[in-house]
Structure 1
Amino acid sequence: MHPDVSADLAELDTTLTTVEKVLDVDELRQRIDELEHQASDPDLWNDQDHAQQVTSELSYKQGELRRVEDLRGRLEDLPVLYELAEEESGDTAAAAKADADTDRAKLREDIEAMEVRTLLSGEFDQRDALVNIRSGAGGVDAADFAEMLMRMYIRWAEKHKYTVEVYDTSYAEEAGIKSTTFAVKAPYTYGTLSVEQGTHRLVRISPFDNQGRRQTSFAEVEVLPVVETTDHIDVPENEVRVDVYRSSGPGGQSVNTTDSAVRLTHIPTGIVVTCQNEKSQLQNKVVAMKVLQAKLLERKRQEEKAAMEELGSGGNASWGNQMRSYVLHPYQMVKDLRTEYEVNNPSGVLDGDIDGFLEAGIRWRMQHAEE
């Protein structure tokens, strides 16, 4: 085997070994076993949300393990392919070596793509993605472009077998959409798609212009992590002051004769809840605690929503932040203005082939975070 090939295979082995360590393949297998055990429980679907979380995580982790095991198998097969090529002669040897070189180039591409996944370590990166697309300047062309982008992301998700839930779409009068909001539900889709945030620009001959003029239009993409909600919130006893007092106002025989009313004060937030409708102090305290938990949960949701919105606006999703151009005329090209990554196949990109842009964006973000 040529020394250059041996060196390249050694480099690929080093990169893949790093990926395996970051993914912690042994822990990954153990987690898959745990999830498979949960998924086989006949009572799992009594809680639909929990069941979907389990099956979604199981599917994702099985895919990750399958992918890294496939890469390892292909890497181990390559030296054998080169040895077999060396045993041949003439045109057969040249063809066999060319096939091995092609396999090696594709393997490098796939290992580097897997390596990008290990770079997603932000606080919200592992969450589902919530994508908002809004048409911008450019009239009906912009509305049409916004719909093209919506289709692009949904097609990307479908190719990866990710679930998409469209929450809202506002259609424009003539063609296209004014805006849309949808979720891509799979682990790490927020971390992956967050690099898409910003203003996208389309240059083409307008199909809506009867004079066939070139039109430039814009659409804005915003990507947020889906907020994880919970049906219960713990309230430590030492954070709540309990006061009991005698009920006031009209009531039955026992209402005004005992200290059955309860006032709960949540010390950290100052939220006060009272309950005096039940007959016993214990019943009033149980009801008051439920009301307090509901108030605290809503407060938490509002705080998380504010944090998400700040995250969104902090991600440079301004109209001035042009991050990608899609040029259909006078030439064919899609180019990312941050990473310089470009391809000459706009139809493929708009059909969901955006993994190259995503990988380049994630690497670019990591480099700038380190600077």
Structure 2
Amino acid sequence: MFDKLEDLVRRFEEITNELTEPSVVNDQNRFRKLMKEQSDLQPLVDAYTEYRKCQETVEDSLAMLESESDDEMREMLKEEMSDAKKRIIELEQEMKILLLPKDPNDEKNVIVEIRAGAGGDEAALFAAEIYRMYVHYAESRRWKTEIVECDEIGIGGMKSVTFMINGQGAYSMMKYESGVHRVQRVPETESGGRIHTSTISVAVMPEVDEDIDIKIEDKDIRIDVMRASGNGGQCVNTTDSAVRLTHYPTGIVVYSQTEKSQLQNKAKAFALLRAKLYDIEQQQRHDAEAEMRRSQIGTGDRSEKIRTYNFPQGRVTDHRINLTLYKLDKIMNGDIQEIIDACIAADQAKKLANMND
């Protein structure tokens, strides 16, 4: 580990020097890439620098204890050495985590697709509530959300909704939300007061950069334009602005109608199609790397039941990590960071265990 850390410190110093060269400053693409690499290495370099200082503190304290006779001074040196040793243990764990392979998609924006499953109207109502939960969570992190497609029902529910979340590191947090979410409660339409169980599915996909090679042949695509439908909007039902794409090889159909311009809807639809095709590639790769799948939390099987929201008892349980929280109201209002942090910690612990094996 320490040989690798020394190499990374040298690389960090090289980047720092390169960033002062006029040829690099004048090349914006090169400059941005180096700045990104430097930013990624900074936490690791800082931790390793502090680690070496703590080691020096231990060595200096030991040397001074050999020649020091004053009891008060010796006690102070022992305390200083003890604090440094504790910090060394903490820093070793931090550096191991920082050295874990990074998900190349972590810093990307995401496209989230929520679909009502079992439970009819009740599932559609819950889908709308989960959508609002994510919007509130995004707002708490100062991320922007934008609807791509929405299929609403008259009582305020959503059969499906697809939306984008734009913000640095959105995928690194939201990727743990993929899977089946289950709700247990008494529906408003239920006169007998019986608890019903309904489900929705959530798919979280990273937005695909233009430099990622996702081939979409013209012959494989059908583009249909039509009048937008739904509630409100100046252009709804007045212009052929809505766009539907059908991808023949996969059978994927995407639809965008939220923009006034057909061109904007077309761009959104293609962005969504690229994300779906990239997601299929990722899933196939994960299936081929079974061990990697087992070492990850929540970025695998979309049919996995990941969480239950029990309204009568006011609790939320994440089944992947056996976490139960009794603050359902806050969670439904977007306070999901504690769950995500627990998933990240569990993910890191599994990866560290695999690395040690």
Taking structure 1 as the reference length, what is the TM-score of the superposition? Answer: 0.47
